[in-house]
Amino acid sequence: MCGICGCFFVNGSVPSLFILRQLQQSMAKMEYRGYDSCGAAIQGQAKGGSHTGIHLFKAVGSPSEAFWPVVEMESDRIDTELVSSVQVGMGHTRWATHGEAGVRNCHPHISSDLKEFVVVHNGQITNFAQIRAYLLSQRNWEFYSETDTEVIPKLALFFYEQTPNATFSEIVEQVCQVLDGAYALIFMSSLFPNEVVATKCGSPLIIGVQSETRVELSDCRAFRKRSGSTEYANAVRQAVNNSGSFASRFPNVEEFLLNNETSAAYEDLAEPKQIKYKPSNDITSEEPKIQYYFSSDRPALAGLTSYSLDLHDFDIAHARPNGELAISYKHPGSMADRQLKMQEFEQVLCEENLFSSKTEKEIHQQRATIESAIRGRVDFETHAVKLGGIQGHLDEICRSSRIYMIAMGTSTHAALATQTILTTLTNKSVSVMQATQFLDMDEPISKSDLCIFISQSGETADSKHALDYCNQAGALTLGITNVVGSSICQNTSCGIHVNAGVEVGVASTKAYTSQYICLVLLGIAIAQAHSITGSRVREMSIEIIDALRELPGKTEEVLNQKAKIRHLAHLIQEKQATIKESTMFNREQSNSLYILGRGFQYAVAREAALKIKEIAYMHAEGLCASELKHGPLAMVQDNFPTILFALKDRYQEHAFNAMNQLVSRGCVPFVFITEGDELELARNFKCKENVPFHIALPKSTPCLQGILAVIPMQLLSLYLAQARGCNVDQPRNLAKSVTV
Q: What is the mean pLDDT of residues 724-733?
A: 89
Give 642 or 736, the one with higher predicted confidence: 642
d(CA 693, CA 172): 63
Q: Which domain holds residue 543?
A: 358-558
- The CA distance from 645 to 709, in Å, is 8
pLDDT in tens, 109-163: 999 999 999 999 988 888 888 999 999 988 899 999 988 999 999 999 999 998 8
Mark whether 552 and 579 lie in a shared domain.
no
What is the three-class DSSP state of 475? coil
Establish if 735 belongs to a structural domain: no
**In DSSP terms, which residues pair with 41 in a beta bridge?**
56, 90
Of 513, 542, 549, 512, which Cα lies nearest the Cα of 527? 542
Is 352 a member of any domain? Answer: no
Residues 383 and 281 in one domain: no
Confidence check: pLDDT of 45 > 70:
yes
pLDDT of residue 383: 94
Q: Residue 3: beta bridge partners?
A: 93
| Percentage above 90 pLDDT, the chain | 51
- Nearest CA to 205 among 492, 494, 504, 490? 490
Quick one: DSSP state of residue 180? -
Least confidently predicted of 53-67, 358-372, 377-391, 576-590: 576-590
Averaged pLDDT for residues 252-269: 42
Is residue 737, in this structure, part of any structural domain at all? no
Residue 618 confidence (pLDDT): 93
pLDDT at 333 > cutoff 60: no
The DSSP letter of residue 11 is: S
- The residue among 541, 558, 575 that closes a domain is 558
Quick one: CA torsion of 564, 569, 574, 576, rounded to 10 degrees?
150
Cα–Cα distance list, 591 to 245, 470, 573 (Å): 56, 41, 9
pLDDT score at 222 = 43
The whole-angstrom distance between residue 227's C-alpha and the CA centroid of its chain comes to 39
Distance CA 36, CA 104 (A): 13
Distance CA 71, CA 633 (A): 57
Residues 6+ positions from 296 with CB-CB distance below 8 Å: 2, 3, 4, 5, 30, 122, 184, 203, 204, 205, 206
Band (pLDDT 50/70/90 cuts) for residue 625 is confident
According to the model, what pLDDT value does residue 229 have?
Answer: 64
- The SS3 of residue 258 is helix
CATH value at residue 150:
3.60.20.10
Task: State the CB neighbour count (10 A cutoff) for residue 14.
Answer: 16
CB 586 within 8 A of CB 706: no
Pairing verdict, β 290-295 and 3-10:
antiparallel
Residues carrying an active site annotation: 2
Q: Is the same domain home to 298 and 392?
A: no
* Nearby residues of 376 by Cβ (< 8 Å), 6 or more positions away: none
Q: 248 pLDDT exceeds 60?
A: no
* Cβ burial, residue 49 (10 Å; 0-12/13-18/19+): exposed
State whether residue 288 is helix, strand or coil: coil
Q: In this model, does residue 263 exceed pLDDT 60?
A: no
Cα 675 from Cα 687, distance rounded (Å): 21
User: Which range is most confident: 484-488, 582-586, 649-653, 698-702?
Assistant: 698-702
Query: How do residues 535-592 score in pLDDT, each as one tens digit?
Result: 789 999 999 999 999 999 999 999 999 999 999 999 998 888 877 666 555 555 567 8
DSSP 147: -
Q: Do the Cβ atoms of 696 and 673 come closer than 8 Å?
A: yes
Residues 218 and 168 in one domain: yes
Q: How far apart are CA 27 and CA 29, in angstroms?
A: 5
Distance CA 435, CA 464 (A): 8
Q: Is 94 or 406 the better-scoring residue by pLDDT?
A: 406
When pLDDT is cut at 50, 70 and 90, the band that residue 204 belongs to is: confident
Is residue 734 domain-resident?
no
- Residue 677: its pLDDT value, please? 86
Q: What is the pLDDT of residues 418-454, one digit of tens each?
A: 999 999 999 999 999 999 999 999 989 999 999 999 9
Residue 351 lies in a domain: no
Q: Is the pLDDT of residue 490 over 70?
A: yes
Greater confidence (340 vs 328) lies with 328
For residue 399, name the pLDDT band (cuts at 50, 70, 90).
very high
Beta pairing, strands 378-379 & 268-279: unpaired
Tell me which of 196 and 226 has the higher pLDDT.
196
Looking at residues 185-196, what average pLDDT do you find? Answer: 96
In this prediction, residues 603-625 reach a mean pLDDT of 95
Contact call for residues 669 and 644 (beta carbons, < 8 A): yes
Residue 689: pLDDT band with limits 50, 70, 90? low
d(CA 612, CA 61): 25
Rounded to the nearest 5°, which phi and psi values hold at 218? Answer: -135, 150
Mean pLDDT, to the nearest integer, of 60-77? 87
CA pair distance 322, 54, nearest whole angstrom: 20
301 and 206 in contact (C-beta within 8 Å)? yes
Is pLDDT at 345 greater than 70 in this prediction?
no
> In which band, very low, low, confident or very high, does the pLDDT at 219 lie, cut at 50, 70 and 90?
low
The larger pLDDT score, comparing residue 509 to residue 328, is at: 509
Residue 223 pairs in a beta bridge with 270
pLDDT score of 332 more than 80: no
Q: Is the pLDDT of residue 277 over 60?
A: yes
Task: Read off the pLDDT of each residue in 38-62 and give the average, rounded to a whole number.
Answer: 86
Angle of helix 535-559 relative to helix 702-723, nearest 10 degrees?
A: 30
Shared domain check, 496 and 567 = no
Give the residue, 99 or 351, on which the prediction is more confident: 99
Whether residue 157 is found in the same domain as residue 305: yes
Tell me, what CATH number does 427's domain have?
3.40.50.10490
Cα–Cα dist 315/208, whole Å:
15
- Residues 580, 543, single domain; the answer is no
Q: Provide the pLDDT for residue 81.
A: 85
Do 429 and 529 share a domain, yes or no?
yes
Q: Count of domains in the chain?
A: 3
Flag whether pLDDT at 624 surpasses 70: yes
* Residues 179-199, mean pLDDT to the nearest whole number: 94
Q: Are 42 and 88 in contact (CB under 8 A)?
A: yes
SS3 assignment, position 106: coil
Paired residues of 644 in beta bridges: 596, 671
DSSP state of 347: P
**What is the spatial distance between Cα 480 and Cα 520, in angstroms, rounded to a whole number?**
12
Domain's final residue, options 283, 314, 342: 342
Same domain, 394 and 422: yes
Q: What is the DSSP letter of 36?
A: S
| Nearest residue to 602 (alpha-carbon basis) of 542, 547, 654, 678 | 654
Whether residues 314 and 437 fall in one domain: no
The predicted structure's pLDDT at residue 224: 41
| Confidence band of 320 (pLDDT split at 50, 70, 90) | very high
**What pTM value is reported for the model?**
0.77
Q: Of 292, 310, 342, at which residue does a domain stop?
A: 342
Measured at the CA of 726, the angle between CA 506 and CA 608, to 5 degrees, comes to 55
Q: Is residue 349 part of a domain?
A: no
Q: Are residues 575 and 446 in the same domain?
A: no
Within 10 angstroms of residue 39's Cβ, the number of other Cβ atoms is 26
Specify the pLDDT at position 508: 94
Query: Using 50, 70 and 90 to split pLDDT, how confident is the model at 533?
Result: low
Taking only the tens place, the pLDDT of each residue in 655-673 is 888 888 888 887 888 999 9
472 and 579 part of one domain: no
Domain assignment present for 10: yes
Round the average pLDDT of the chain to a whole number and report it: 85
Whether residue 248 lies inside any domain: the answer is yes
